[in-house]
């Protein structure tokens, strides 16, 4: 039954305007709890109006909605989507189901509580529907059998068994099993006209599903379209600025770049001070945590990840140097052969410039001989001074190239490092840790370096994370890099092949003769202890 059919003619004009105008419906029918705890009408703010216009535009053009929203904290994206779906369920004559999936149980409770408040406080004059069923996880309207369900991202099967028409994924960047949940949502919703899938999140670094979906949307490589909401659109994110406030040159440049008013700049400075102190960062410029939580641009949202072994900001600097870097010195080629389901990573480095000649992922083609043939062609074309290839899994490709006369250097990620600390003690658990640490120092050095401006390469380079069971120091104070298998599992099967290939360019000091480098014994090491 239509939302208008149950009402007298004198009421239908007003209800018709509510049906066709979400901002009006939000103002007259929906109530939210303000920051002070007061119950107030949902008046769409600048960010929410921007989201609404973008969503409606796609709906008009394509007949369905597939949006991914990149935003800062507390910009009202989740509130907008909740209000939008409540409006659709209220006005429809069909039976529609909306499913909301969040990253943690408190967020699930909050969003469902918002929907419950919409219903409980909806004025009768705005056509409040009768409720067929209501409980802690579901609202079902009697008139049209439409309703909400909510759940928390956890098990891989969440939401897979049902059929939905409207899907809201909240804080997708923080979901466990994100690949499975989004795949399940796409299957549950399908491609019928009028269906909607809206994914929104604060960024959570690079390499996760939300990052990949957002980048694909920006490049026009998916059905999703991206919406970005900068923090300074928030009318509430201002603070009275004292006359004594004197921002650093970095903060002045930041304010000029984003056309900030003094109250906005002072708010940002205060919020950055709070976040910078929590991570022991400088107060003189926006820290990575502020930029991640309150991004001013789309790129800024993803450039920051405070937990990666190689800082994301250092990689971004190398992607976008202020002036091109000229590589000098020997040309070193790093090759990370494919393992099960992986690709072959190939990249060159010439001094402070990497990937100028080649930076590719290659399909292994099903055989080591095929890969060796392709690599032989690349080596003949590039003419590198040194070729480092990982032989940790198997050495077939290395053997073929060596038999053909190519001076390749065998490197085993799991073998002993070739260097020690200044006191002669071991500082690396294996060659993998040694190479990645040398690469980190290359990025963090005082002189600029340059790599290809490539999202997938940055994802690889920032893949290793600090933490228990990940990148850490063992009881002997040896650096251990997070295992590739663990990275693949966390990144939904994506392997950091190209990042490992770049690490291989740091395997052997070029001053060492190639043959001696291949056969040089590892330093004598104390017996390994288990349980590190």
- Select from 222, 237, 231 the least CA-distant residue to 258: 231
Options 3.30.420.240, 3.20.20.140, 3.40.50.1100, 3.90.45.10; which CATH number does 331-519 get? 3.30.420.240
For the stretch 316-365, pLDDT in tens is: 889 988 899 999 999 999 999 977 668 899 999 999 999 999 999 998 87
User: What is residue 422's predicted lDDT score, i.e. its pLDDT?
Assistant: 63
- Helix 9-20 vs helix 22-29: crossing angle, to nearest 10: 110
Spell out the domain ranges in the chain.
9-229, 236-299, 331-519
Q: Are 32 and 42 in contact (CB under 8 A)?
A: yes
CA distance 524 to 516: 17
For the stretch 375-420, pLDDT in tens is: 999 999 999 999 999 998 778 899 999 999 998 999 999 998 988 7
List the strands of the sheet with 408-411, edge to edge.
Answer: 353-362, 344-350, 331-336, 386-390, 408-411
DSSP string, 298-312: HHHHHH--TTBSS-H
What mean pLDDT comes out for the span 73-92?
A: 91
CATH class for the region spanning 9-229: alpha beta
Residue 518 has pLDDT above 60, yes or no: no
- Select from 333, 315, 357 the least CA-distant residue to 449: 315
Backbone angles phi, psi at 98, to 5 degrees: -110, 140
User: What is residue 286's predicted lDDT score, i.e. its pLDDT?
Assistant: 87
Residue 295 has pLDDT above 80, yes or no: yes
CA distance 224 to 69: 10
Per-residue confidence band for 520, with pLDDT thresholds at 50, 70 and 90: very low
What mean pLDDT comes out for the span 430-454?
A: 93
What is the 3 state secondary structure string of 462-485? CCCEECCCCEEECCCCCEECCCHH
Per-residue confidence band for 273, with pLDDT thresholds at 50, 70 and 90: very high
Residue 192 has pLDDT above 80, yes or no: yes
For the stretch 107-131, pLDDT in tens is: 888 888 898 999 999 999 998 888 8
For the stretch 17-74, pLDDT in tens is: 999 999 999 999 999 988 788 999 999 999 999 999 999 999 999 999 999 999 888 7
For the stretch 127-162, pLDDT in tens is: 888 888 776 678 888 888 888 888 888 755 555 556
Mean of the per-residue pLDDT values of the chain: 85
User: What is residue 494's predicted lDDT score, i.e. its pLDDT?
Assistant: 73
Of residues 316 and 435, more confidently modeled: 435
Q: What is the pTM of this model?
A: 0.68
Residue 435 has pLDDT above 90, yes or no: yes
Q: Is 76 left (phi over 0), alpha (psi -120 to 50) or beta?
A: left
């Amino acid at each position: 039954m239509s939302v208008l059919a149950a009402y007298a003619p004198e009421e239908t004009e007003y209800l018709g305007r509510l049906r066709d105008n979400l901002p009006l419906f939000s103002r007259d029918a929906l109530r939210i709890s303000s920051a002070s705890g007061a119950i107030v009408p949902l008046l769409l703010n600048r960010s929410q109006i921007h989201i609404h216009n973008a969503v409606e535009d796609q709906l008009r053009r394509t007949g369905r909605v597939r949006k991914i929203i990149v935003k800062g904290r507390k910009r009202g994206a989740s509130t907008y989507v909740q209000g939008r779906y409540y409006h659709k369920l209220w006005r429809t004559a069909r039976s529609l189901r909306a499913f909301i999936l969040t990253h943690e149980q408190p967020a699930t409770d909050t969003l469902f509580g918002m929907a419950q408040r919409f219903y409980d406080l909806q004025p009768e004059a705005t056509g409040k529907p009768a409720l067929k069923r209501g409980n802690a996880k579901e609202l079902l309207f009697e008139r049209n059998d439409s309703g909400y369900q909510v759940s928390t991202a956890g098990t891989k099967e969440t939401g897979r068994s049902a059929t939905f028409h409207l899907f809201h994924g909240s804080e997708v960047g923080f979901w466990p099993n994100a690949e499975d949940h989004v795949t399940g949502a796409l299957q549950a919703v399908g491609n019928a006209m009028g269906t909607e899938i809206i994914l929104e999140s604060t960024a959570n670094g690079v390499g996760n599903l939300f990052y990949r979906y957002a980048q694909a949307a920006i490049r026009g490589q998916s059905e999703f379209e991206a919406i970005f909401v900068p923090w300074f659109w928030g009318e509430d994110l201002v603070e009275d600025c004292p006359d004594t406030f004197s921002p650093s040159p970095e903060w002045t440049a930041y304010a000029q770049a984003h056309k900030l008013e003094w109250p906005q700049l002072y708010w940002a400075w205060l919020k950055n001070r709070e976040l910078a102190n929590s991570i022991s960062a400088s107060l003189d410029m926006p820290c990575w945590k502020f930029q991640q939580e309150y991004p001013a641009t789309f790129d800024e949202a993803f450039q920051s990840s405070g937990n990666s072994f190689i800082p994301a900001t250092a990689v971004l600097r190398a992607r976008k140097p202020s002036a091109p870097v000229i590589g000098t010195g020997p040309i070193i080629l790093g090759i990370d052969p494919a393992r099960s389901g992986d690709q072959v990573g190939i990249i060159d480095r010439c001094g402070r410039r990497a990937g100028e000649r080649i930076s590719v992922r290659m399909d292994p083609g099903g055989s080591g001989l095929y890969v060796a043939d392709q690599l032989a062609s690349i080596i003949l074309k590039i003419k590198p001074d040194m070729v480092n290839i990982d032989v940790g899994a198997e050495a077939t490709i290395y053997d073929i190239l060596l038999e053909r006369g190519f001076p390749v250097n065998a490197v085993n990620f799991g073998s002993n490092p070739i260097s020690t600390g200044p006191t002669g003690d071991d500082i690396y658990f294996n060659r993998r840790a040694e190479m990645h640490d040398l690469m980190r120092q290359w990025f963090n050095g005082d002189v600029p370096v340059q790599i290809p401006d490539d999202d997938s390469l940055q994802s690889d380079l920032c893949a290793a994370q600090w933490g228990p069971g990940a990148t850490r120091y063992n009881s002997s104070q040896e650096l251990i890099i997070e295992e590739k298998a663990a990275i693949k599992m966390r990144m939904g099967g994506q392997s950091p092949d190209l990042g490992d290939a770049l690490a291989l360019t740091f395997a052997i000091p070029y001053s060492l003769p190639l043959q001696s480098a291949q056969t040089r014994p590892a330093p004598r090491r104390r017996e390994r202890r288990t349980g590190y």
